[in-house]
Amino acid sequence: MPYLFTSESVSEGHPDKVADQISDALIDNFLAYDPNSKVACETLVTTGQVVLAGEVKSKTYLDVQSIAREVINKIGYTKGEYMFAGDSCGVISAIHEQSPDINQGVDRVTEDADFETRANAQGAGDQGMMFGYATNETDNYMPLALDLAHAILKELSALRRENSAIQYLRPDAKSQVTIEYSDDHKPIRIDSIVVSTQHDEFGSDEAMLAKIRKDMIDILIPRVKAKQKHEIQLLFNDEIKYHINPTGKFVIGGPHGDTGLTGRKIIVDTYGGKGAHGGGAFSGKDPSKVDRSAAYATRHIAKNLVAAGVADEVLVQVSYAIGVAEPCGLYVNTNGTAKVDMTDGEIAKKVLEIFDLRPYAIEKNLKLRNPIYQETAAYGHMGREPYTGSKTFNKGKDNALTIENLEFFTWEKLDKVDEIRSKFGL
């Protein structure tokens, strides 16, 4: 019998995502000026206030207030009427030095140690389990409902910044997509779409809500549909149930409408409820924290396995003990879709022959000790297009720094497909 599956996304102006972006901007600045920085930074945002807290071990000093304000302004919180604006909000810092009890299990080698010495000596920054997932139902190997939910909000953000077709949009927004699947797990149609967008107040409530609904259905959704490949476009239909700002007007929003905290959107950040999640957030953590780096590594594994044709979908779990380099275990689940004559346990054993899951090896192989994280903090850490670019820090200041040839979203590269096919005889 056909079934429904739903995923949601939130915009870069959602309070929790504002917090994530500030935390990751701090990570990037620390890594830009001291690549060996160890950082765990949490952010809280509320009406007119930003609170930064966390633990840092670094050789650099940052003007954290300026960094937070720059992020907030870039998102679009620039007006006093929002009750939260980059140039006027208060920024309180309670960041302090990292506990030596934690650090001793991570830093145990000299600067000139070779790769193997470092890889065996650098233990995991914490215990826990991390999951990666991939499916071939989309070109970027992501679950379709989440992919469309992200696409809706990316297009809504583009409309807001264009300020032409729709001129009343504010930064805070959420979306949700429900898809009907067949018994053999193929998407049949889009059943419903939810869009809740913050907006300026204009006209009567009734006229305002009617215009917003019309613009979302007649302007936003066609733009989203037009950017999908033909097979996905066919899932859009005249029977879609639209819920546009279903609670009514949404003028009060952002950190004024709801307090935001780093790490509260971990399902939006990953797979929209498909696969699994180990519970650890990503933003605000340097790559020695396996909550982040190992989640990227398992996504890299899962995506390359599916792209190589090992299975139609793959879930990968890895687990660690704090201070220990070798993983406690690796688990692979193909959900009965394997295309090779192997058990999932045998597939896992082959995976360990191809991928080095020691924390230092993950950092090096995926080039994670670089300032590449603010870009991950909205619209998902997974399913993004890898690219190479440059970033400038403290532009216009005496210590301005531009870093060239940064590789972003390296865990999305399909660089292991040939080796996997060789190992699996495909």
**For the chain, how are helix, strand and coil distributed in percent, rounded to 5?**
35, 25, 40
User: What is the model's pLDDT at position 72?
Assistant: 98
DSSP 158-196: HHHHHTSS---EEEEEEEEEEEEE-TTS-EEEEEEEEEE
* Rounded CA separation 205/207 (Å): 6
Q: Are 166 and 332 contacting, i.e. CB atoms less than 8 angstroms apart?
A: no
Annotated binding-site residue? 302: no
User: What is the model's pLDDT at position 122?
Assistant: 85
Range 57-63 contact pairs with CB under 8 angstroms and sequence separation of 24 or more: 57/97, 57/98, 57/103, 58/30, 58/33, 58/34, 59/33, 59/34, 60/29, 60/30, 60/33, 60/34, 62/26, 62/29, 62/30, 62/33
Annotated binding-site residue? 98: yes
Annotated binding-site residue? 264: yes
Annotated binding-site residue? 174: yes
Nearest to 82 by CA among 92, 67, 72: 72
DSSP 67-122: HHHHHHHHHT---GGGT--TTTSEEEEEEEEPPHHHHTTT--S-TT--HHHHHHH-
Annotated binding-site residue? 84: no
DSSP 122-151: --BSS-EEEEEEEETTSTTSS-HHHHHHHH
Three-class DSSP category at 29: helix
Sort 369 into a burial class: Cβ within 10 Å, 0-12 / 13-18 / 19+.
Answer: middle
Annotated binding-site residue? 250: yes
Q: What is the DSSP letter of 358?
A: S
Annotated binding-site residue? 59: no
User: What is the model's pLDDT at position 108?
Assistant: 60
Annotated binding-site residue? 265: yes
Instruction: Give the chain's domains with CATH numbers.
Output: 3-11+143-254 (3.30.300.10), 15-99 (3.30.300.10), 128-136+264-424 (3.30.300.10)
* Rounded CA separation 317/302 (Å): 10
User: What is the model's pLDDT at position 110?
Assistant: 61
Query: What are the structure tokens assigned to 379, written together?
Result: 């619209």
Annotated binding-site residue? 289: yes
Query: What are the structure tokens assigned to 351, written together?
Result: 């995976």
Query: What are the structure tokens assigned to 29, written together?
Result: 């600045």
User: What is the model's pLDDT at position 103?
Assistant: 59
Three-class DSSP category at 207: helix
* Rounded CA separation 8/272 (Å): 6
Phi, psi at 8, each rounded to 5°? -125, 165
pLDDT truncated to tens, each residue of the chain (426 aa)?
A: 899 999 999 999 999 999 999 999 999 999 999 999 999 999 999 999 999 999 999 999 999 999 999 999 999 999 999 999 999 999 999 998 866 555 555 666 666 678 888 778 788 888 999 999 999 999 999 999 999 999 999 999 999 999 888 999 999 999 999 999 999 999 999 999 999 999 999 989 999 999 999 999 999 999 999 999 999 999 999 999 999 999 999 999 999 999 999 999 999 999 999 999 999 999 999 999 999 999 999 999 999 999 999 999 999 999 999 989 999 999 999 999 999 999 999 999 999 999 999 999 999 999 999 999 999 999 999 999 999 999 999 988 888 999 999 999 999 999 999 999 999 998
Single pTM value for the model = 0.96
DSSP 318-345: EEE-BT-SS-SEEEEE-TT-B-SSS-HH
Annotated binding-site residue? 285: yes
Annotated binding-site residue? 172: yes
The CB density around residue 87, as the number of other CB atoms within 10 Å, is 11
Annotated binding-site residue? 346: no
User: What is the model's pLDDT at position 113?
Assistant: 76
